[in-house]
Amino acid sequence: QVQVVESGGGLVQAGGSLRLSCAASGSILRVYDMGWYRQALGKQRELVATITRGATTTYADSVKGRFTISRDNVKNAVYLQMNSLKPEDTAVYYCNVKTTLGYGPNYWGQGTQVTVSS
């Protein structure tokens, strides 16, 4: 009974910026790892960025230096600041939330569309 909701997607021109937000709610004792994934048309879902509860981050090579992931443990929220957007960033972006340590279930949001025009 965990709900994950993303917001902040939209249409921007190349070089522009967007800030995605994700909030988890429901039967949550504590949120551990959180992350952002994306899926472009005709492609598999891929990792964009992850962040642990201790704020250790990882990024896909394609977004390093342009995207920044952050979190708010009080709000059970995770954010993705996306700068210098490129058309190849166009995808549906999904938020992922883990509520246990070690191997356990992952919860996904419904996705938010990001479209970058050239």
Q: How many CA atoms within 13 Å lie on the side-chain side of 11? A: 2
Per-chain mean pLDDT for the chain:
95
* pLDDT digits 0-9 by tens, 41-75: 999 999 999 999 999 999 999 999 999 999 999 99
- What is the pLDDT at residue 27? 85
* C-alpha of 73 from chain center: 15
pLDDT confidence bin for 100, thresholds 50/70/90: confident
pLDDT of 76 reads 94
Spatial CB neighbours of 36, under 8 Å, sequence gap ≥ 6: 20, 22, 47, 48, 49, 50, 69, 78, 80, 93, 94, 95, 96
* Alpha carbon of residue 86 to chain centroid: 17
Range with the poorest average pLDDT among 18-22, 58-62, 102-106: 102-106
- pLDDT given for residue 103 in this prediction: 86
